[in-house]
Amino acid sequence: MPAATTGGAAGVGGAARAAADSATVVVDVNLHRSAELSDNRGALRIYDQDLRVEYRRGGRGAGLDAGQVTLDGQPLRRAVSGKGAVSYRLGREGTENAQTREDPWVSLANAGGPGLAATLARVKLAPFPVVTQPTPGQGALRTEDLTVVMLPPVAGMWYRVSLRGSGDQVLATDVGQGRWVFPHALLEPLSPGGVRILIEVETSCGDCEVGPHLRANWSSRVEMEVPITLL
């Protein structure tokens, strides 16, 4: 009898967990974008942007119809597959006045659909970093160290700074507090002329609670180029 009682309790607990899982909606957010810094006020020239959002019951199955979905107020395009799965996309539309930004948090809202309530989630997406040095088009002597300065990196994000021109890629050293340095010994062998500083930023979360019965998986990567001239 005790064994049967224990098994019954476990069965009830398992049913409760299954019910809780089925009530939870998981939002999958994937973003990749690239741009060039075009002036010293943070204006960007967007090369490419691809954002994909899907809502799934319990994190499984086909994407649900979530009604209209917006990212910081900007509507996403709704796409329906041949099997009825719904996803939401955003490309380069609406990026004419894109700017660098410090805050990685954005609001993802949906109006609700069949069997899915309206929700508001705050998700963390890699921003184009705010660079204060060097400015686009600036000249840099190969006989001196080249320092890249941006607002201090946001916790929980991965950054890499490199320089690309004719020849091999050169990596900068992170010296902390938003400063990366290319030692002159690495610059001197490079040919003079136009090169690009490439700043890469990534962030992700495998299972983040963003609201009641609402969790999110997100993955984002941005690449920003700063054109300069080696002298």
Residues ≥6 apart with Cβ < 8 Å to 32: 48, 49, 50, 220, 221, 222
Q: How far is Cα 81 from Cα 173, in angstroms, rounded to an integer? A: 45
Q: Which two tokens stand for residue 194?
A: 């136009």
Which amino acid appears at position 154 of this protein?
Answer: V
Yes or no: say if 206 and 217 are a contact pair by the CB < 8 Å rule: yes
pLDDT at 192 over 80: yes
| Residue boundaries of the structural domains of the chain | 24-128+203-221, 131-199
Quick one: average pLDDT of 152-172? 87
**Which 3 state secondary structure label does DSSP give 213?**
coil
Write down the pLDDT at residue 13: 45
Report the half-sphere exposure of 77 (CA within 13 A, side-chain side): 11
| Predicted local confidence at residue 156, as pLDDT | 86
Per residue in 32-49, pLDDT (tens digit) is 999 999 999 999 999 999
At residue 162, the pLDDT reads: 96
pLDDT at 6 exceeding the cut of 70: no
Name the one residue in this structure whose structure tokens are 């902390």: 176
Q: Structure pTM? A: 0.85
Residue 127 reports pLDDT greater than 60: yes
- Nearest residue to 208 via CA among 117, 127, 123: 123
CA 30 to chain centre: 7
Burial category of 207 from C-beta neighbours within 10 Å (exposed 0-12, middle 13-18, buried 19 and up):
exposed
Identify each DSSP E strand in the chain by its residue range. Answer: 25-37, 44-57, 69-71, 74-75, 77-80, 86-90, 105-110, 119-124, 131-133, 139-140, 146-150, 158-164, 170-171, 173-176, 179-182, 193-211, 214-230
Which range has the worst mean pLDDT, 63-77, 161-175, 186-200, 217-231? Answer: 161-175
Per-residue pLDDT tens digits for 42-70: 999 999 999 999 999 887 778 889 999 99
